[in-house]
Amino acid sequence: MRKTLASIAAVVVTTGLVVASPAVAKKPAPKPVDTSGLTKAVTVNGILQHARQLQTISDRNGGNRASGLPGHTESADYVASKLRSAGYEVTRQKFTFAFSRELEPATLTQLTPTQREIETATMDYSGSGDVTGTVVPTNDIMIPPSAEPSSTSGCEASDFPAAPAGPAIALVQRGTCTFEAKANNAVAAGYDAVILMNEGQPGRDELLTGTLGNPASVPVVGVSYADGASLATGSVTARVTTKTENDLNRETENVIADLPSTGKKVPNADQVVVVGGHLDSVAAGPGINDNGSGSATILETAEEMSELKLTKSLQRPVRFAFWGAEESGLLGAEHYVAALSDADRNKIYANLNFDMLGSPNYARFVYDGDGSEDGNDGPAGSAEIEQVFVNYFDSKNLATEPTAFDGRSDYGPFIDAGIPAGGLFSGAEGVKTPEQVVKFGGTAGAPFDACYHQACDDIRNLSTKALDELGDAAAHATAVLTLSKAGLFGDQRKATSHQAAKKKISKGPALTR
């Protein structure tokens, strides 16, 4: 049970974990962890070297590094080679998954009452097709939208009017249930194609992209709230075209690397710290921020830990993981956790996740492990991991905000298994507020990453300042968890006050709802 701030007297150690004062804990305070060697060794230049190589790999493999395609395999080859050269024991864990990609851009043309082209995007796992028909909105679309996300459009079979004679296209609003559920309900109601419109609140009004999670039998495309609202008024006919490739049994892999001890037994050998991030991109682009930035930072950290011979100081084993198929729904991390034996799963001490660390209009978001903003906390230890990051940034006079601990990145399968987790995030498609500009700089009213899940997420789509600040914090937390004798549960600790606003920002794989 977490103690309240008022009930704990403590001294903040900004170089590592927070330890209790003698007034509360009778044990002597453990020696602070000096992480400066690793944070100095992990450099922006080192991170960028790996990011540039991932860009090169994307360039010679059709402009992407998506799982199930050659660009991801070559990315895994590169990472595995670098880790072996650094002395790691590397495992390439293969698994199969439901693969999907767009072969030609989707089109959406309104034919009546006036003809116009509408910007659209193929939803992952959409079927292929060419459908011309009447556009029929569900009977519960909310125009104008509610102040907070709450639309249930398409979540129930009764939301769909009877499909008219001839081809028909369902218009469904984002909200509450998954895109897959909405599409399946539309097909069951007799519709031949589905248009998914965004819900309409700030940050949920742009062109909608995302994933169905499993292959659909009909074309399924996304549109912005404004375009969806225009299609919902009056009698409208339209034409939808999609051309996709879906494969239920495509092979991909995770790259797992363990830093072996050098003749010295690690004191807490049954407390493995897994430091991970996804290596794959979406099929639409090279994914250099999402998540080349996290992968490159993790790889740089792994190399420097070996170079500094930190194996001699390890209190816990460290395992670096480069997940596959995150963009298809956290599948690599899910496979890894599910494949562990009970004994091996119980040895996972904590998971650190780094997914997008270089957003151009960045913020310093920390996973809200203690649930201080909405009560949605993580497994025991998650609050302490959050505090490691917050304390570090506090020591540098850098403000932070919590990001929703909602499982929408590769830490999700770990917390589902009761394993504490934490991490950092620099922002995705969400829009930066004026208040956040005061904290982090940048541009109000603009996305944290305007190229999120797009072809322009290339080597030019990185903030070196973000990589510097968040990269050092990632290295710091890795060192604290692996080198600290006290660990997460050693002595009573006091949480310092967050410099966090109430608003939460979350990022994850391609949207599912």
- Residue 266 CA to residue 313 CA, distance in Å, equals 8
Cα separation, 251 vs 98, in Å, equals 9
Q: In degrees rounded to 5, what are phi and psi of residue 378?
A: -100, -175
Find where tokens 């939460």 sit: 504
Q: What is the rounded CA–CA span in Å between residue 122 and residue 223?
A: 9
Residue 125 to residue 282: CA distance in whole angstroms: 13
What does the alpha-carbon distance between residue 376 and residue 215 come to, in Å, rounded to a whole number? 31
User: Do residues 345 and 417 touch, judged by C-beta distance below 8 A?
Assistant: yes
Positive or negative, the Cα torsion across 452, 455, 456, 458?
A: positive
74, 326, 327, 384: the catalytic one is: 326
Pairing of strands 272-278, 348-354: parallel
- Give, in order, the Cα–Cα distances in Å from 289 to each of 86, 130, 269, 354, 510: 24, 34, 34, 11, 14
Q: Which two tokens stand for residue 89?
A: 């024991």
- Pair type for strands 193-197 and 168-173: parallel
Place of tokens 């992209």: 209
3-class secondary structure, 321: strand
Q: Locate all alpha helices (DSSP H) within 263-381, ordered by sequence.
A: 294-307, 331-339, 342-346
CB 72 within 8 A of CB 328: no
Neighbours of 329 (CB within 10 A): 22
304 is catalytic: no
Helix (H) or strand (E) holding 135: strand 129-137
Q: Which two tokens stand for residue 191?
A: 């519709």
Active site residues: 326
